[in-house]
Amino acid sequence: MLTVRHVSPRRLDVALTLAPLRHGPADPTFHRAADGSVWRTSLLRTGPVTQRFVPAGPHEVLVQLWGDGAREAADGVPALLGEDDDAAGFAPPPQLVDAHRRAVGMRMARSGRVLEALVPAVLEQRVQTVTAHRAWRWLVTRHGSAAPGPAPDGMRVVPDARAWARVPVWDWHRAGVDPGRARTAARCAQVAPRLEEACGMTAAEARERLEKVPGVGVWTSAEVAQRAFGDADAVSEGDFHLPAAVGWALAGERTDDAGMLRLLAPYAPHRHRVVRLLTLEGRAVAPRRGPKLPIPDYRRF
């Protein structure tokens, strides 16, 4: 086991900072323990790692690491905990001043792992979130590897690129993933080394690189940018619910993508930070105007 103590000059809320890296309440790569610690697994260039983050004060966290990737992961702790996230000059919308004050320790995490963020984002394309989370859990549990160290029961490490590319069509089907999303995930895995290079590019160049993969559009690249690159300005355009929710929260009326971007424009380069605050406040939801859509089960097709 490797142990590092990270001390930040700013307040740090570990749970809020790492929360976007969790894909559903039963994500096998992420666990919130009753004692307040956060467990997370990852697959780095040097191998798999299990990380346990134990808050030790408003500015301090103890990080325990197990596995071949422990040293590399230890070097990446500051970026993962958002030390590169510069919120200087950010003034939240009037509706979110209190939320911003309460979430003072929230940072934009930078995982530096593109494929780990990209596959779950692809699974979340055009479907209800619950079905995407179920597919992610099933696929990682079946095709991932055991988490190193004393990880909580059921934790797994994500498959590597070769394993994602080799997932058989019937396993995608059993996970409830339609052929279109399955093909996109496989394409991403096949060019994973080129995609991982995006971490060293500018935000625009990185997203352009991702969007060259057929099936990866602006919504998916934004979701990856938020998590892998720590991009506080990446807006998930094309989201089914988000434009109406932002419009309702900031202007009292539903809107479309163009309207959402107009409302968020004054807050660049912190537009995603505004959306995070809306989500934390429970305000990223507009009133429903019709019945809920049924959840399709692709496993029955």
pLDDT value of residue 115:
98
pLDDT tens digits, 4-28: 999 999 999 999 999 999 999 999 9
Instruction: Find the helix or strand (DSSP H, E) in which 145 lies.
Output: strand 145-146
Phi first, then psi: give them for residue 40, nearest 5 degrees: -150, 140
Mode of pairing for the β-strands spanning 60-66 and 47-57? antiparallel
In this model, does residue 126 exceed pLDDT 80?
Answer: yes
pTM given for the model: 0.92
pLDDT tens digits, 217-245: 999 999 999 999 999 999 999 999 999 99
Count how many residues are written for the chain: 301
Asked whether 286 and 244 are in contact (CB, 8 A), the reply is: yes
Instruction: Find the helix or strand (DSSP H, E) in which 225 lies.
Output: helix 218-228
pLDDT value of residue 9:
96
In this prediction, what percent of the chain has a pLDDT beyond 70? 94
> How far out from the chain centre does Cα 138 lie?
18
Which residue segments constitute the domains of the chain, with CATH numbers given?
2-90 (3.30.310.20), 114-228 (1.10.340.30), 235-290 (no CATH)
In this model, does residue 159 exceed pLDDT 90?
Answer: yes
Give the separation between CA 52 and CA 66, rounded to whole angstroms.
Answer: 9
> How far out from the chain centre does Cα 194 lie?
20
Q: Which of 144, 135, 75, 83 is nearest to 108 (CA)?
A: 83
- Region 250-262: mean pLDDT is 96
Q: How confident is the model at residue 297 (pLDDT cuts 50, 70, 90)?
A: low
pLDDT value of residue 281:
83
Q: How confident is the model at residue 283 (pLDDT cuts 50, 70, 90)?
A: low
